[in-house]
Structure formats: structure tokens, C-alpha cells
Chain A
Amino acid sequence: MAKLESKTPSGPLEQKWEKHKTEIKLVNPANKRKYEVIVVGAGLAGSSSAATLAELGYKVKSFVFHDSPRRAHSIAAQGGINAAKNYQNDGDSVHRLFYDTLKGGDYRARESNVHRLAEVSVNIIDQCAAQGVPFAREYGGLLANRSFGGAQVSRTFYARGQTGQQLLLGAYSALSRMVGQGAIELHTNSEMLDLVIVDGHAKGIIVRDLITGQITRHSADAVVLATGGYGNVFNLSTYARGSNATAIWRAYKRGACLANPCYTQIHPTCIPVSGDYQSKLTLMSESLRNDGRIWVPKKKEDAGKEPGSIPEANRDYYLERIYPSFGNLAPRDVSSRAAMRMCNEGRGVGPTGLGVYLDFADAIKRLGEPAVRERYGNLFDIYHEITAEDAYKTPMRIFPAVHYTMGGLWVDYNLMSNIPGLFVLGEANFSDHGANRLGASALMQGLADGYFVLPYTIGDYLAGQKPASRPSTESTEFKQAEDNVRSMTQRLLATKGKEPVSHFHKRLGKIMWEHCGMARTKESLESALQLIPALREEFWANVNVPGSAETLNQSLEQAGRVADFIELGELLCRDALTREESCGGHFREEYQYPDGECKRDDEKFAHVAAWEYQGEGKAPLRNIEPLNYEFTKMSVRSYK
């Protein structure tokens, strides 16, 4: 049974983080250079933490499977980053951002973590502006803001529709600066395939060089995983094709608890699927909902008609109708399910009937086409490239798609997992978003963790480790972990079955989407828990991975990742089955209010479920961390 101590500091909510910072141990500057830290992943959380740790004087080794740290998928975030700056004078505050985030997460996150996130949000904007991130500005030269879902203030900072790109390039520039100074050893094209535990502590990783196939061992005083989410378990998602869960899954198999895997976010505004060959779903930023109006025809019979031919009176602007106070800016989970309900009623639009309109006609009338073009031009261009349709003339068709995973490796207040020395940042951890993440909060969390939390909290752990006491990579633990990696690689190559890797990924994705997607039931989950182990068996008997292990072999890379996704998918369904309530991104049809909203069960489920691996073929253990709300009342979320 894993020990899950949240290590939440005592005292008033507003003072916890300050107090904690003064109480945790420090490492003196002369000793910092004696400690080595491995950082896996180079997205917002990975790059920002690697750069900051190096600035502090630690020796950092950064590993990324991409050919450059700048390729990490944080780059694709479009809309913006939240911060409680209150530059708009519209009543925002740290407390309000805290409250919105906690409520948006359907009261399934730790109060202390969320409050800290809101506190440091303001420092992030300062840091990024100083790095030269070209945020949108007003004519006076000050920073501009826009609104995002789940908030009634304008607190989102942005750089056109490429905010993630600009923030990542900022963090990448900080990382590059430290690489140039020799303070970070950068390993690109390097995929972590196992975690090495020595005497119960995380002390290293096993890495495969994706170009040469060489497998190497790396030891360190602490290991940081910032490897992103596991949304590609659904195959079709807005994630990059390479995004994977291998690092966190292998850490799970070494004893790190995986918390709340069933909390998956379905984003309401993506471009609908067009065919079987499809590899990816493209997001249309939530910021579009600032000016776009979402509708479907009132009558089923109109669903197949040209949108322009449907008169105003026959359109159902259903978000505005059902949620008058938040309207088109209702949170993501609420909006996605509403779209699904419309399609289930037969009112979905487009060739497949799985779509709703996002209409800019009113915005164009009100603001003029040039203003709309300035705000969203690049998004309209992307839409045009993919669909060959002009969204200035005809409404966009959108449909929900998997976009983010709130679950992840369990961490305490210091962002350390239940394995001492293993820290987990950004989307890879479970910490701050509860059961649903609000728009523009992922960038905030990644950078909060990397710039402003881990650099303090890692010292508390390292101060307890003797300087330069890293285990040798010749130790048994390293050898055993390397053997584990080699044998899995050999097994994948030796199977020589009849189906390519993609075949299994597609089938897994279909099972996950149909049985554990936007809405889940006991029956659907139980059936998924039959189908997935069978698929796993078939995978290992019938997968075909061509080529060798000694060269660039993309099929081999993908095979390892899909093998992990199959196992993770099973755990996800198990978690969803056990959580007999609906909350945020986890919607169980049995648990809903008459109007279709989530019905939580705070009595039984106001806790984090942290799953612990028990070995091959054994059921994992469900550990519980109770969520104690000291400062906020868990209320029924309403956006009406």
C-alpha cells in the first residue's frame, strides 16, 4: 500500500505557499553543482524547469524524444494563458482565479495546489514578458486580454492563436541559453524507456537513442518527468502523433501511483472526423467561442440542409439557451456533452451528422470581417486548409475531441510522486485541474510547475541526499532495468505478426471512444474491460514491427508506445468503472441530474484515486487520498 501524504502545509490558504517556502530545506549554492537532475520532456514544464534548475546551479540532463526541444506539443496550444493580473480592472483576483479553477475542476482538486497555481500565475506573465514573448498588446503598449470558458472576467493573455508556441519558444530560449553555457546536457532523439529505482528512490533512467538505437543508462540525484498527457490512448485526439504515455507508464510499473486516469477532457471545438485514414483531430481554439455562436437546427429535418437556408427562427443556439449566464463560454465538459446530446437527438450537421455549427455571421456583422480576421485569421486559415470551406462565408462545423488528460502520476504538494526523488510536472501529473481543466490553464500549470514550484521544492528532497552520492550505472538496478528494455524491444521485433502497429492503435482508440469517451456506463466499461485485455493479447501475438533495433525505426517506437497505451487504457476504464459518480470530464450516465448535468457523490468520492501496480496479471490497488475542503464549499457546479 503506497503512502500518500499530500504534505499540504497548514495555516490559512493564502499563506500556505509562502509559509512552505520558508520552511522547506535549501541546498547551498556550492553544493548545488554536486547534484545532477534528469529532466525528461521539454515542453513548457520540462524546458522551464530544466532552465531554472540550471540557473540555480544544479547540473541538469535534459532528455527529449523530439529532434529539438522546441517541437514538444505545448507548441500547439492556441488560445492563451490565464493569470490573475486584473489588468482589465474587471474584478479579477488570485482568489477568483483559484475559485474558478477549483469549481471548473468540479471540486476534485486539492485546494492548496490550486491556490498556489493562482498565486504564481502573475509571476509567469512577468517572466514571459521579460523573455520577449510577443504577447498581444493594446495601442498604449500594455498587455491585452481575452475571455475563456468558465470565467466571467478577461484574464487570458495571448499571442495571436499561437500562445503555446510563443511561451514554449520563451522556455526553449531559456533552456538554450543554459545549454550554451554548458549547464544543461541536452539529449535529443532520446526516449526514456525505464525508470531506475535504487533503495526505494528514483535515481536514473534507461534511454534509447532513436537514431542509432543505442541503449544507455543515466544516473542522477533526482528524476523529473514532464512528459505530457496520455490522450493518444484514444488514438484520435488533438495530441501530436508522437505524444505518448511511455515515461509515466513505465514509472507506474516501477511503483509510482497513477491518479484519476478517468479524468479525460473532451474539447468541444475540433474539426470533425472525415475518414478511416485520419491520424489526428485539429482543435479550433476555444477563444473562437468569444465571438462565434454555436447552434444546430431546431428540427431534425433541417440537419442536412445548407446552413444559410435555415432561417434564424429555426436555429437552436443551445448553449445560450441552456446556460444563459455563460452562454457560448460554458466550460469544456459542459459544452462537449451538450453537443453530443444535440447529435444524439439527430440534429447534428455535416456529412456524418456528428457536428454542430460555430457561426461568425453575427460577429462579422458587428465587428466587420477585418476585425474578425485579425483576431482569428490563422484559425480560419487552418479550417480552410483542412475542410476547403470558408468560415467567413459559411459556419464552421465542429465536434468534440479528446484534448487533455487531467489524471496523471500522483504527486504531493512538492510535486514529488510516492517514489522519493521522482518529480512529475505539467500534464503528466494529476495535480491542479481536478476532474476538468479550464481553457488557458494548461499553459499556466506547466509553467507554474517548471518556473516557480519545482525549483523550490526539489531542494527539500535533495537537501536530504548526500551530495554526489548517485549510484553507479553499473549497479544491478541499472542492469536489470536495461535488460527489461532490451527484452521488450526484442519481443516486439520478434513477433512478426500480420498487422501493423497502427491497426491496434486504431482499435484501442475505437474501444476507448465508444466505451469510455464522452459518456460512460457500467455496462460499457465492463465490456471495455473484456475487450482491452483481448486486444492486448492479440497485439503481442500478431503485431508486425519491421526493421531492426539498431537504427531509426519509427514502427518500433510506436509499437512500444501502443503497447503501453493498451495497458493504460485498461486502467483508465477500471478507474472510470470504480468512480460511481459523474464529475467534470468523467461522465457516468447513471449519475446525472434530470437536465443532464454531472451528479457528484461527495460522500463517497471526494477523493483522489491513486492506482498502484501490483505486477503482471494482478489487479492494481486503488489507494485513496481524501480531499478535505477547508476553505471552499463543495457546491453543485452551475453555469446557468
Chain B
Amino acid sequence: MVANNSTRIFSVTLRVWRQSGPGQPGKFVDYPAPQVSPDMSFLELLDVVNDGLTLTGEEPIAFAHDCREGICGTCSCTINGKPHGPGKGVATCQVYMRSFRDGDVIVVEPFRAKAFPLVKDLVTDREAFDKIQQAGGFISVRTGAAPDANSIPVPKDDADLAMDAAACIGCGACVAACKNASAMLFVAAKVSHLGLMPQGQPERDRRVLAMVQTMDEAGFGNCANQYECSAVCPKLISHDFIARMNRDYVSALFRENFKPASNATGGGA
């Protein structure tokens, strides 16, 4: 018989950041949670606390969540000072209460960064990430224009490394963990994923230049090489990709400035 934890009920206190909207004053409020099962997920505990608040007439805590299996990147709580909480390589929704002990006070905050303005309580606006993708996070291929998939072999090691980078879920924990609120791990993951694939070569230079420029404009800081980003990343994306992006960026910038000008003007008969 497998060990059954569900009888070990314990209690904790949630100290949660409450803020009714942007520009409003915020504060921490304590919520006792007396019936905690170790098999409960952290977000399930928030559900239970919220149902309790609803019945007492207090507005429930707004928090972002969706898939609850660590892949959609919606959930985004800083728990006890660490984005996504105590676990390694997991998102907030994959934190289970067995990580805490009876009597713990658990401090819960939103992901804080200038480029992620607060919406309400624990919810922030991460649209800046979408803007960066729109600037260049793609390979331009019209639907229907693709050659046979096996006509472009990709060395397995490159494909595997590209997949390591592509595993990014776009949650923004890297930004929240960084003292500069840098988005370089996020951007580097996308730049590296596409830059490692042969399909991504034609736009490699313009991609990295456009994405980095948009990142800077959105108000994210720069990398100071402390790697707090990769330490909290729920997909354990390596900060080596930042070095790869920097290399790509420098060579793209160099090529951009010494590019032979083409006389092509388009048009034709």
C-alpha cells in the first residue's frame, strides 16, 4: 500500500498582497488556513480560502491560473520571496502543500517588475512578452508554403538544444527574480530556439535585433549575470542561452552596420 498522506491535516497562515487596482494602495493581509492537506496544491488552498472569503462577504483574492499542470505559464505568485515558491523547476500551480510545515506563515505576492504593471491583487499584466514575440519571435513561413518536413534535416543535438530553449512557458518568473527586472532569459530562449534551427537562419539577425530592441523599450533591465532567472525558471532554462543571444546580437549588429546594400527595388514586369 502506498503511503497515504491525506490524514496529516495541518494549518498555515497566508499573508497575501491585496491591491484593488493599479495606482491603489496595497497591503498584506493575513488569512488563516486551518485545514491543509499535504496533497493539496498551493492554488487549491487559495481556492478554498477564496470560497471562505466569498461566504464572509469579503472579495476573493484575484490570482492568475489556468492549466494547473505547469505548462500554460499563467500562474505567477512570488511565494516567500521566490517566484513560483520553494520547489525547483516548477510553476506556482505545481507547488504542493507538503512543501510547508504546520504553523508556517506563507507570504504571497505578485510578480513584481516595472514592465509587468499590477492589475489586481496577485495578477499582473505581462503583455510586454507578447510585444517582444510580435517583433520577431517567429519564422516567416506562409501557410502552405512549406517544403516536405524531412527535406530539412536538423542534427539531433541542435534539435534537442532548441527544444531545451523552446520549453519556456512565458511566465515571467525570470523577470520577477531579477534585481534588474531583466527579460533576457525569456528573450534568449526564443532567440536560441529559432536560431538553432536551420529554418531560423534567414531571419536570425533581424530577429535578435528586433526582439532585443522591443525588450529594451518595454522597460526591462539588463542582465548582470547573477542567474537568479534560471534558478527560479519552472522549466530550468539555462542562462547559457543568454550568452548565446548576446553573441548573436553582437554579430547581428556588426553585420547590420557593414551590410552590402542591394539595389533590388522589387517590382518587375
What residues make up the interface of A, taking CB atoms closer than 8 Å to B?
Answer: 48, 51-52, 55, 66-73, 75-76, 85, 87, 123, 125-132, 134-143, 159-160, 162, 165-166, 169, 172-174, 176-177, 179-180, 186, 188, 211, 240-242, 274-275, 277-280, 282-283, 304-306, 350-351, 381-382, 385-389, 394, 397, 451-452, 455, 498-500, 502-503, 544, 546-547, 551-552, 554-555
Contacts and interface: CB of A to CB of B under 8 A. Distances in A.
B126 A68 contact: yes
A82 to B, nearest CB: 14
From A70, A389, A499, A554, name the one whose CB has the most chain B CB atoms within 10 angstroms. Answer: A554
A452 B170 CA distance: 28
B122 to A, nearest CB: 11
Contacts of A241: 65-68
Contact of B133 (A165, A173, A280, A282): A173
Nearest to A545: B54
Contacts of B223: none
Nearest to B58: A546
Question: What 4 A-B pairs have minimum CB-CB distances, sorted nearest first?
Answer: A141-B153, A130-B146, A180-B134, A173-B138
A274 B146 contact: no
B51 A502 contact: yes
Given A129-B199, A551-B120, A397 B2 contact: yes
A75 B140 contact: no
24 contacts: A71-B67, A76-B72, A126-B147, A126-B149, A130-B149, A132-B197, A134-B162, A137-B156, A162-B71, A174-B141, A174-B143, A211-B125, A240-B66, A241-B68, A275-B40, A279-B44, A385-B70, A385-B87, A385-B96, A388-B96, A500-B54, A544-B54, A546-B53, A551-B20
A68 B64 CA distance: 12
Contact of A66 (B6, B66, B138): B66
A129 B152 contact: yes
A275 B146 contact: no
Contacts of B54: 500, 544, 546, 555
A279 B47 contact: yes
Interface string B124-149: 01110110011111111111111111
B81 interface: no
Contact of A68 (B137, B138, B170): B170
A143 B146 CA distance: 15
Contact of A132 (B21, B44, B70, B193): B193
Given A143-B150, A554-B60, A280 B68 contact: yes
Nearest to B165: A134
B106 interface: no
B127 A176 contact: no
Q: How large is the interface on B (under 10, 10 to 19, 20 to 34, 35 or more residues)?
A: 35 or more
A73 B69 CA distance: 11
B107 interface: no
Contact of B127 (A71, A85, A188): A188
B143 A127 contact: yes
A396 to B, nearest CB: 11
A137 to B, nearest CB: 4
Dominant secondary structure at the B interface: loop
B175 to A, nearest CB: 14
B43 A279 contact: yes
Contacts of A179: 130, 134
Contacts of B39: 274-275
Interface in B150-170: 150, 152-156, 159-160, 162-163, 166-167, 169-170
B71 A67 contact: no
Contacts of A554: 60, 62
Nearest to A78: B71
Interface string B161-202: 011001101100000000000000000000001100101100
Contacts of A159: 163, 166
Contacts of A174: 138, 141, 143
A71 B74 CA distance: 7
A130 B67 contact: no
Given A66-B66, A73-B66, A130-B146, 20 more contacts: A55-B142, A68-B126, A68-B127, A85-B149, A130-B152, A134-B159, A137-B155, A173-B137, A173-B139, A176-B130, A176-B133, A177-B140, A277-B47, A304-B1, A381-B89, A455-B143, A499-B55, A500-B50, A547-B60, A552-B123
B199 A382 contact: no
B217 interface: no
B119 interface: yes
B72 A75 contact: yes
Given A277-B37, A278-B44, A382-B70, A134 B197 contact: yes
Contact of A502 (B47, B137, B146): B47
Contact of B147 (A66, A130, A277): A130
A386 B137 contact: no
A336 to B, nearest CB: 20
From A87, A188, A546, name the one whose CB has the most chain B CB atoms within 10 angstroms. Answer: A546
A143 B134 contact: no
